[in-house]
């Protein structure tokens, strides 16, 4: 089999080294999202006898899911159009991206990065768009143009493989599929697509202009700030579990009894639990005395857990009730929006980054579909549903007021198509509404009624 050129092999080796180096960090993020982090990571040594008292406070998942759930694509719009483009949306739907993009957005929050790969799809007649795991894909960018210059996907060829033995190297004009044979990577096949761009589109969360020394990964997980607070809360609530068994229940004492008081009528010693709950409540010795020690006050643990929950809310921007803190007051709609202001703004910032990546993925897909690069697609706009949580009634009321308002010449402040968009309708629903409105205006029966009047 053929092998990569010296230059391409150098790119492969560098990307492979970076991907292998970052996997341990991604594994740790995975464990925190799944609530499977080890307690030695929390700085808490737990004897084997009390392993069952371990409690994991899974706030990292709360943070990642809360933001990802507010990121929903509703279409793509080209310049000069009032509604979403049907052809772009058809390609998006043909690849089940309404479902697959949920995975990408969650990867983006958990790992701080996500990847879309685009290629030919001879079976469907549409370009193939897939979401790939950050565990398997890494990219390289040109520092001046910020464009992806190379990408590598490293994976196992079969579930029984002990290590990665398959790879895909993406370059601007060619894609190589490689297989590991005897410690040497050999080319299995290649595709000279001549796109002039790498068909892999990354999204990096919290990206900065430079990467600090010693950090090979790009992008910051949404869970990064809450992980230390989560560790502290897990230690606290685990200590609560232990203290509940040893200090919360009052310990009893008894004086003036003998061993025979803890035996049945045949002289056989009673089990400990029977002795504890039964026999010590009555004894034949008149000098026997019973009593109990005062139980420990557990409120200090509750105070610390509240402190950690408030700290988690502060560093993540999520409202306190997301971490179990609630107030007795019935919050108004304005109060709810105020509490969620940072969360909504963070989601809107993510929409900008994720939107740019999805626009680039669709440009590549349409270039593969049509065989040419369309300059009009450079100004494509990714449309998102509102990341906030206003009530539908309040949104409709605001839109109606803007639509009814007019300037001095009598022109409406808000066009009808834009009013539909402000209501949160998808491009397809807006198009259908406009078509139905047009049908109403041209209906023969309605026309006859108008003429009769």
Helix or strand holding residue 428 (H, E): helix 427-441
Best CA proximity match to 136, nearest among 164, 162, 158, 160:
164
The CA-atom distances, in angstroms, between 50 and each of 200, 236, 243, 244, 387 are: 48, 15, 11, 12, 44
With both helix axes pointing from N to C terminus, report the angle between 86-94 and 427-441 in degrees, rounded to the nearest 10: 140
> According to the model, what pLDDT value does residue 130 have?
94
Cα distance from N-terminal residue to C-terminal residue, the chain: 83
Q: DSSP secondary-structure letter at 410?
A: -
Rounded-to-integer distance, Cα 256 and Cα 301, Å: 37
Helix axes 299-316, 59-68, angle to 10 degrees: 30
The H or E element that residue 68 is part of is helix 59-68
- Give the HSE-up count for residue 438: Cα atoms under 13 Å, Cβ half-sphere: 7
Structure tokens at 1: 């089999």
What are the residues whose beta carbons fall under 8 Å from the beta carbon of 434, sequence distance 6 or more?
A: 83, 416, 417, 420
336-356 burial by CB neighbour count: b if 16+ within 10 A, else e? ebebbeebbebbeebbebbbe
Helix (H, G, I), strand (E, B) or coil at 14: helix
Give me the sign of the Cα torsion angle 243, 249, 250, 252.
Answer: negative
- Per-residue confidence of the chain (453 residues) as pLDDT tens digits? 688 999 999 999 999 999 999 999 999 999 999 988 776 554 555 566 656 667 788 999 999 999 999 999 988 989 887 777 889 999 999 999 989 999 999 999 999 999 999 998 876 678 999 999 999 999 998 888 888 999 999 999 888 888 899 999 999 999 999 999 888 999 999 999 999 999 999 999 988 777 654 454 578 999 999 999 998 888 888 777 777 666 656 667 777 777 666 676 776 776 654 545 444 555 656 677 777 766 666 778 888 889 999 999 999 999 888 898 876 555 666 677 778 889 999 999 999 999 999 999 999 999 999 889 988 999 999 999 888 765 556 566 667 767 677 766 767 667 777 777 767 677 777 777 777 777 767 766 655 555 555
131 C-beta neighbours (distance < 10 Å), count: 22
């Amino acid at each position: 089999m053929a092998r990569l050129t010296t230059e391409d092999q150098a790119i492969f080796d560098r990307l492979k080294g970076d991907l292998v180096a970052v996997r341990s960090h991604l594994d740790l993020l995975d464990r925190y999202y799944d609530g499977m982090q080890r307690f030695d990571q929390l700085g808490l040594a737990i004897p084997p006898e009390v392993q069952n008292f371990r409690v994991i406070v899974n706030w990292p998942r709360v943070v990642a899911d809360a933001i990802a759930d507010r990121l929903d694509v509703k279409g793509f719009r080209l310049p000069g159009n009032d509604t979403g483009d049907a052809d772009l949306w058809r390609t998006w739907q043909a690849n089940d991206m309404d479902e697959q993009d949920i995975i990408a957005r969650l990867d983006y929050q958990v790992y701080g990065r996500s990847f879309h790969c685009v290629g030919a799809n001879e079976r469907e007649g549409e370009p193939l768009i897939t979401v790939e795991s950050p565990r398997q894909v890494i990219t390289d960018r040109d520092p001046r143009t910020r464009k992806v210059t190379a990408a590598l996907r490293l994976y196992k060829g079969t579930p029984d493989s002990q290590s990665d033995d398959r790879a895909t190297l993406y370059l601007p004009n060619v894609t190589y599929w490689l297989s590991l044979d005897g410690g040497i990577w050999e080319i299995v096949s290649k595709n000279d697509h001549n796109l002039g761009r790498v068909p892999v589109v990354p999204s990096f969360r919290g990206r900065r202009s430079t990467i600090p020394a010693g950090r090979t990964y790009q992008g910051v997980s949404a869970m990064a700030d809450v992980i230390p607070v989560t560790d502290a809360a897990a230690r606290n609530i685990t200590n609560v579990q232990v203290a509940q068994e040893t200090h919360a229940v009052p310990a009893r004492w008894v004086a003036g009894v003998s061993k025979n008081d803890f035996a049945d009528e045949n002289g056989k010693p009673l089990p400990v639990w029977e002795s504890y709950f039964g026999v010590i409540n009555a004894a034949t010795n008149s000098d026997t005395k019973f009593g109990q020690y005062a139980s420990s006050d557990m409120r200090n643990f509750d105070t610390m857990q509240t402190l950690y929950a408030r700290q988690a809310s502060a560093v993540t921007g999520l409202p306190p009730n997301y971490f179990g803190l609630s107030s007795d007051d019935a919050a108004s709609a304005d109060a709810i929006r105020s509490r969620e202001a940072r969360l909504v703004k963070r989601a809107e910032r993510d929409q900008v980054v994720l939107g740019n990546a999805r626009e680039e993925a669709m440009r590549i897909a349409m270039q593969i579909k049509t065989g040419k690069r369309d300059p009009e697609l450079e100004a494509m706009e990714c449309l998102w549903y509102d990341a906030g949580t206003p009530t539908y009634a309040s949104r409709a009321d605001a839109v109606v007021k803007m639509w009814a308002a007019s300037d001095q010449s009598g022109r409406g402040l808000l066009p009808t198509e834009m009013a539909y968009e402000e209501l949160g309708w998808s491009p397809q629903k807006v198009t259908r509404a406009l078509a139905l409105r047009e049908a109403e205006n041209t209906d023969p029966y309605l026309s006859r009624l108008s003429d009769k009047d």
